[in-house]
Every structure is written in C-alpha cells, then in structure tokens.
Amino acid sequence: MLAKVIDRVLVVGGTHGNELTGVYLVKKFQQFPKLLENNSFRTTVLLANTQAIAANCRYIDRDLNRCFAPQDLADPTVCDYEGTRAKEIAAQWHNEFSSQQSLIIDLHSSTANMGLTLLLANDCPFTLRLAAYLSQLHSDVRVCLAASQGDGDRRLRALSPLNMAIEVGPIAQGIVDARLLQLTEMLVMATLNYIDQANRGQLLPVAPEITVYQSLGSIDYPRDQNGMLQAAIHPQRQFQDYQALNPGDPLFLQFDGQALLYTGNKTTWPIFINEAAYYEKSIAMTFTDQHQVAIAQ
Ligand SMILES: [Zn+2]
C-alpha cells in the first residue's frame, strides 16, 4: 500500500522568528490543544527559534534553518545560539520521534508572492500524494520540489524523511495577516485529517496528476564590486512568482532605467522573487521547471 501509517506529527512555527503566521498558529494550538487531538496519531507543536521570536527577528546569530546538517549537530565546537538550539531540537527529535513514523510540518512565510506553497522533498510518494490532496482545497496551493541535498541537508524539517514546509505569502516580516493565518491553519488541519484517514486505510481521493515546480537553482541581483545592487527586480516581474519567464522577458531594472532581459534559452517559472530574507543569501529569485507528475491512486 502506498500510504505509510503515521505515528507522530510535529508542527513547527518560528524557525524564522519574524515569520509570525507559523508562530501565532503554533501559539493557538498550544492554547487549544484539543484542535490537534485524534485517535490514530499524536501531534506535537514546537516554537523553534524562541529567542528570535522574542526579538521579532529572523535569527540571533545565523539562520536556524541551516543548522541541522548531521556533521554540525555532532560538532562540539558549534556553540552559537542557533547551533545550540538546533542541537536541543535534534536531541528532542531523536528521543521522542525518530523511532516512529513521523511527519514534520514546518510553517514559514515569505515576502514573495508564494501563495500557499507546499515545499516537498522530491522523492517522497507519501507527501506528494498529500500535496495533491491539499491542491484540491484552494486555488492558491502550489507544489514545489526542493533540489535534493542528501545527507548534507541543513534544514530543520530534514530531521525526518517525511517532511513538508508550508510557505505562505506575500506578507511582510513581523506581520500577522488573518487571512493567511486561517489558510495556513486550514492546510494543517486538512493534513491531519488526511493522515487520520490514511491511518484507517482510507486514502482520500486525489487528481490523477498535478503540476509541480522543480527547483533548479537561484540567481543573484546584479551587484557592483562592493556588493551594492545595480538593479532591482523589474516591475513586470515583481510578485509574478510561478509565472512563466521566457527568453527575452524583462528581469531586472537598472537604476538608470534600462531593463535587463532574461538571457536563458528556455522558459522558467521563478519563485521567491525579491524575498526580503534572501538579499543576504545573494538570491534574487529561484528558477523552477514546471511539469506534471502522476499521482498514485
Ligand atoms: Zn522561513
């Protein structure tokens, strides 16, 4: 049978401390734990970067979602705040979850127009079918497959081979938007319902195929030798996440008003366009390839 039985679900908010959608949804679940109760598995919630949440910033020393590579978790010289916090979370994970079939749902938000993006590992039939189910519930759901990072994956959710991030936007950092909060809650509750049904041998129906966006890699802004921007995202491209970018289309706008065109030779579908948190990562957008994948029924 395709569906694996799930014993535990971990819902994580605040991996980035100023992404308040996940923070406040987890706080709501902490206040009303009955919302997460069901008979076939147990759901636990976690606020990940507690100090960054208190300070309303993305992180204290460095990005917590890049601290979970196994070699870093085992490195005694790693002792900054996020490195230490990652070790605490990983130890809790291994004590409570790792012996069971456990799914991690990591809640994020983006300043880019990501809609209701489900970020999946690209080789997991269970989460792909789950994403196909969730895609039916709202027209803004998009399914994005991350490039495989193998054992060197540094993200929190990679603690489990069964994992999914929900990335909603556009929303500014440090902002709560009731609509996005409700839609994120809807996706989490629908996921828990899907799993409960699967645990009972009941696979909820899904479309025979869905559109997925496979991450191909990222490009930076044009910069000078000092790292200063020489151009901004072109107005015709801003907020156009998941829209086709064809050879010759405007991509950036130099400050002298001249457009810089996309010089690639094939169509791509950029996402995370002008994400505020990615300026420091030298990422202006991430290119993806769009294709259809068949879903096991
Ligand atoms: Zn995030």
For residue 63, how far is its CA from the centre of ligand 1 (angstroms)?
9
Query: How many angstroms is it from 20 CA to the middle of ligand 1?
Result: 10
Tokens found for residue 233: 């995202």
pLDDT at 1: 44
pLDDT reported for residue 3:
46
**What's the gap in Å between 207 CA and the centre of ligand 1?**
29
Residue 297 C-alpha to ligand 1 middle, in angstroms?
32
The token pair at 123 is 């080789």
Please tell me the distance between residue 9's alpha carbon and the centre of ligand 1 in angstroms. Answer: 19
Question: pLDDT at position 101, please?
Answer: 93
Q: Ligand 1 mean position to 256 CA, how many Å? A: 33
Q: Walk along the chain (297 residues) and give the pLDDT tens digit of each residue.
A: 444 589 999 999 999 999 999 999 999 999 999 999 988 999 999 999 999 999 999 999 999 999 999 999 999 999 999 999 999 999 999 999 888 899 999 999 999 999 999 999 877 999 999 999 999 999 999 999 987 666 678 999 999 999 999 999 999 999 999 999 999 999 999 999 999 999 999 999 999 999 999 999 999 999 999 999 999 999 999 999 999 999 999 999 999 999 999 999 999 999 999 999 999 999 999 999 999 999 988
Q: How close is the Cα of 166 to the center of ligand 1, in Å? A: 9
pLDDT in tens, 104-129: 999 999 999 999 999 998 779 999 99
For residue 109, how far is its CA from the centre of ligand 1 (angstroms)?
6
Q: How far is the CA of 171 from the centre of ligand 1 (A)?
A: 12
Per-residue pLDDT, 57: 98
| Distance of CA 203 from the midpoint of ligand 1 (Å) | 30
Centre of ligand 1 from the C-alpha of residue 65, in Å: 8
CA–CA distance, 199 with 3 (Å, rounded to integer): 8
Which candidate, 242, 293, 250, places its Cα nearest to that of 268? 242
Q: How far is CA 123 from CA 156, 181, 232, in A?
A: 18, 29, 35
What DSSP assignment string belongs to 176-192? --HHHHHHHHHHHHHHH
The pLDDT assigned to 150 comes to: 66
Ligand 1 centroid vs 209 CA: distance in angstroms? 28
CB 56 within 8 A of CB 137: no
pLDDT of residue 276: 98
Measured from the Cβ of residue 250, the count of other Cβ atoms closer than 10 Å reads: 15
pLDDT tens digit sequence for 147-204:
766 667 899 999 999 999 999 999 999 999 999 999 999 999 999 999 999 999 999 9
Q: Which is it for the CA torsion 288, 294, 296, 297, positive or negative?
A: positive
Gyration radius from the chain CA atoms? 19
Length of the chain: 297
